Structure 1
């Protein structure tokens, strides 16, 4: 696969392969590889389709591999003409789709997200619960299964998706019904309030997660990586697409943003509160607008000086002794 990557990069460098950009100044993307799966990006034109076919044919001839046409689909942006889509799909011999569906168990979203979007999670949990005879298990066994199995099912999706709160609430209701022995439409007797049951063991609970809060924690991890992993391609794409300005902007809310970005913007204030600044030489930290002083926030509101407009670094406000 590395040889194929090199072949694509050579064509991109020569200008034969026209890669795409998700924003005007963002990085160009021509291909993404994961294990034996690959996603190719190019301009929607017959010339580019022929270039893609020539590249794949050369790779197959040299390596002995073959492209699985039955497992390959082609997706176009909305501004591409319908007749042109059909012509390009027929030229490549690939199936034309309007939705890329799911990849690695996560939906590649292109439409408005609702509770129905994540119905597959609820169905998966229901199938798992239907295979367990809840009434024949002891309470301790049901709690263990709920913690180790049921709550782990949405964990993978939560790492990169901001789930609707209704989905989290529905999963918690299913867990409650299972723990108290509910089955076949019958609701078991709830002996303890859910808030008590889900609290920490030291507080008298059993340590069940609040799924919405757990989702928030995982999305906060994504937000932290957006701040620190600036060399990663996905970080560069997102930061350019949503016009990330400064080291740590006060707000990243954008109208019409993706579900992931909406989630990060929802927990952004909590992320900012938990960030600890390392000033180092002081030339990368804005004196007025970066929150580099604990419990103070940015200093712009405390000054009437024209320099509060930004651009002044911490190092410029110190003497040779660093004071």
Structure 2
């Protein structure tokens, strides 16, 4: 629906900015799938929820804005059932996401998860490489059981679109057009710390600056 008229399909060409209203729907898609899988496991008797009293319904999970609580018995059967649910959710996501959806998920959600920590700490290079390795595995579709070819390095995928080309629909495969504008986490980490340093220099009377000086 566009301006009150029904239109055709819209193909996204750019990612969503942080705090964009549409970005929350990406979380809801996964949360709904997880909720259905937990309910199914509870119906099958693999997960035993929590009862406040004998007459109350069993509560297996509660979802909040960005926190999930799962209630179950502390035994190996229930824990294995939860692990199986998470494994099924992982497989569902890998099979459902197209190249465009993976691109939006990485740009709008996944790469924003580390922003708070990176604005305070300088992460070790080994940790950054490991995080980017996980990004690359998700992008190319590799799993613990099946490896797929990474047609170009993650550093090349972090190249700006204007410098690396518009990017190809096959996921950046080939000699040209690999730049997709993903964040280089090491440079992003330095930029956030530099921003904090500039704030300290510009605002010497702020609480943060006085605390650090003290």
TM-score, length basis structure 1: 0.33
When Rg is computed on C-alpha atoms for both structures, the one with the higher figure is 1
Q: Larger RCO: Structure 1 or Structure 2 (Cα < 8 Å, ≥ 6 residues apart)?
A: 2
